[in-house]
């Protein structure tokens, strides 16, 4: 008969064995599913800021206001002037009262002329504000790289990160293309640095996600060192020790959402939310993985090279 102390010792040893092997069995993708990086803040899960929610009445009023403004903007000639006059009359009624009292034909012509000049002035200003196409960063067709000037452009450095293909060649062995997984970031709602091409940046970020996963599986320390900050590489190098020899991460699909871009005087920091479909074990069903990656680029960099500086899991 087995004595109780011996049975208890056997149970404790079994539990310790399970704890010891579980990280190797589960932690297979880049970084092993943890939160870490060049800043202490990266060691905790990322919590997204709640967006302000409009009430139904506010949403309805905003939609009606947008419809009215678009209607007046599309009308030309006399109808456009009358629309501007009507808006001016409403503003006058709000602030001064009696905006349309004792109006005569000359007043109408004067107000209409002022409204017409304002429409022309605003239209010319909007036309001047449209930026020209940026040749920097990662080219969307043809050879990678667009010959970015020193310190300019916002894409990843194609000479290092995309030396194996063009922007359209973003697949890796055992993975499916991302035709239906486009960037979801509403860049117009973000405060971006001047000349920051969000679309080109996110295209490079998706490619970077695949290349880094591949380098991780292959224990390619040279590639990891070239694409990460020194502090981030040290973290990755330590975690590679627990990686199985036959590790393979199939990136089936990946989305990238730009969360923010911060100007830190000497460098820029871009935060990207990746929503990917990964297979970390052969024969298992793919699983959804959502992580926040942080990239940095020195302000005075000769080329628009971005380096991985941190990975955070997304807080539930």
At 211-247, the pLDDT tens digits run 999 999 999 999 999 999 999 999 999 999 888 888 8
- pLDDT of 275: 95
Residue 261 phi/psi, 5-degree rounding, is: -130, 120
- 287 and 167 housed in the same domain: yes
The C-alpha angle 245, 239, 235, rounded to 5 degrees, equals 145
- 152 and 299 housed in the same domain: yes
- 244 and 192 housed in the same domain: yes
Identify whether the C-beta of residue 243 lies closer than 8 Å to the C-beta of residue 225.
no
- Residue 44 CB partners (closer than 8 Å, separation 6+): 35, 312
- pLDDT of 223: 93
- pLDDT of 215: 94
- 303 and 229 housed in the same domain: yes
Q: Is residue 301 part of a domain?
A: yes
- Residue range of the domain that includes 242: 132-313
- pLDDT of 164: 37
From 77, 109, 129, the end of a domain falls on 129
Question: What are the C-alpha distances in Å from 25 to residues 20, 180, 245?
Answer: 10, 31, 12
From 92, 110, 129, the end of a domain falls on 129
CA atoms within 13 A on the CB side of 59: 5
- pLDDT of 237: 94
- pLDDT of 293: 95
Helix axes 77-95, 105-129, angle to 10 degrees: 100
- 161 and 291 housed in the same domain: yes
- 159 and 271 housed in the same domain: yes
From 129, 149, 167, the end of a domain falls on 129
Domain count, the chain: 2
> Which residue numbers in the chain have pLDDT < 50?
2, 7, 12, 15-25, 27, 52-53, 72, 78-79, 81-82, 85, 90-91, 93-95, 99, 127-154, 158-183, 185
């Amino acid at each position: 008969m087995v004595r109780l102390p011996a049975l208890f010792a056997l149970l404790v040893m079994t539990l310790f064995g399970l704890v010891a092997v579980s990280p190797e069995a589960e932690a297979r993708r880049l970084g092993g599913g943890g939160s870490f990086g060049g800043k202490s803040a990266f060691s905790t899960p990322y919590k997204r800021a709640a967006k302000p929610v409009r009430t139904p009445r506010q949403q309805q009023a905003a939609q009606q206001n947008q419809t009215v403004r678009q209607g007046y903007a599309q009308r030309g000639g006399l109808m456009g002037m009358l629309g501007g006059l009507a808006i001016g009359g409403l503003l006058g009624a709000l602030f001064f009262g009696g905006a349309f009292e004792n109006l005569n034909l000359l007043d109408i012509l004067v107000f209409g002329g002022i409204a017409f000049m304002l429409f022309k002035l605003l239209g010319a200003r909007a036309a001047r504000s449209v930026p020209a196409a940026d040749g920097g960063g990662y080219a969307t067709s043809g050879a990678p790289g667009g010959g970015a000037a020193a310190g300019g452009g916002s894409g990843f450095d194609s000479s290092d990160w995309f030396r194996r293909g063009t922007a359209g060649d973003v697949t890796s062995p055992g993975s499916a293309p991302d035709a239906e997984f486009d960037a979801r970031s509403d860049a117009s709602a973000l405060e971006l640095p001047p000349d920051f091409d969000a679309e080109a940046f996110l295209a490079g970020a998706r490619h970077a996600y695949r290349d880094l996963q591949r380098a991780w599986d292959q224990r390619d320390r040279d590639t990891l060192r070239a694409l990460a900050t020194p502090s981030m590489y040290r973290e990755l190098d330590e975690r590679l020790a627990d990686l199985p020899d036959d590790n393979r991460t199939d990136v089936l699909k990946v989305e990238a959402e730009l969360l923010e871009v911060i100007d830190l005087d000497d460098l820029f920091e871009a935060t990207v939310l990746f929503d990917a479909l990964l297979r970390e074990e052969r024969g298992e069903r793919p699983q959804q993985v959502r992580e926040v990656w942080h990239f940095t680029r020195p302000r005075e960099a000769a080329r628009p090279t971005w380096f991985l500086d941190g990975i955070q899991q997304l807080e539930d």
